[in-house]
Amino acid sequence: MDRTFWALADSTRRGVLQRLIDEPGLSVSDLAEGFSLKLPGMTKHLDVLSDAGLINRTKNGRTVAVTIKAAPMREAMAWLNQYEKFWTVSLDRLVAFVEAEDGQ
Amino acid sequence: MNVALPSVTLVRRIKASPAKVWAAITQADLMLQWWGPDAGPTLDVVADIRPGGRFCVVFRLMDGSEHNPTGVYQEVIPERKLAFTWDLPGAAEPISLVTFVLEPAEGGTVLTLTHKRLPDEAARTSHEQGWSGLLDKLPIFLGDRPCPP
Partners of residue B110 on adjacent β-strands: B13, B103
> Any chain A CB within 8 A of the CB of B6?
yes
Q: Cβ–Cβ of B14/A95 closer than 8 Å?
A: yes
Residues A37 and A74 in one domain: no
Nearest CA to A86 out of B55, B15, B115, B65 is that of B115
Residue A14's domain comprises: 1-69
Confidence band of B94 (pLDDT split at 50, 70, 90): confident
Partners of residue B66 on adjacent β-strands: B60
Of A2, A84, A87, the CB nearest to B120: A2
Q: Which residues of B touch A94 (CB under 8 A)?
A: 12, 14, 21, 24-25, 34, 111
ipTM above 0.85, yes or no: no
- How would you write the pLDDT of chain A (104 residues) with one tens digit per residue? 567 777 877 889 888 988 888 888 999 999 999 999 999 999 999 999 998 888 999 998 889 999 988 776 677 777 888 888 899 999 999 999 999 965 54
CATH architecture, domain defined by B7-133: 2-Layer Sandwich (3.30)
Residues A28 and A39 in one domain: yes
Of the ranges B12-21, B88-97, B115-124, the best mean pLDDT one = B12-21
Question: What is the CATH classification number for the domain harbouring A22?
Answer: 1.10.10.10
Residues A12 and A36 in one domain: yes
Q: Cβ–Cβ of A1/B92 closer than 8 Å?
A: yes
Residues A20 and A60 in one domain: yes
Q: What angle do CA B89, B94, B100 make, to 5 degrees?
A: 90
SS3 call for B58: strand
For A58, list phi and psi in degrees, rounded to 5: -120, 130
Identify the pLDDT of residue A2: 64
Q: What angle do CA B149, B136, B122 make, to 5 degrees?
A: 90
Residues A64 and A85 in one domain: no
> Any chain B CB within 8 A of the CB of A39?
no
To which H or E segment does residue A92 belong?
A: helix A71-103
Residues A52 and A1 in one domain: yes
Domain ranges of chain B: 7-133
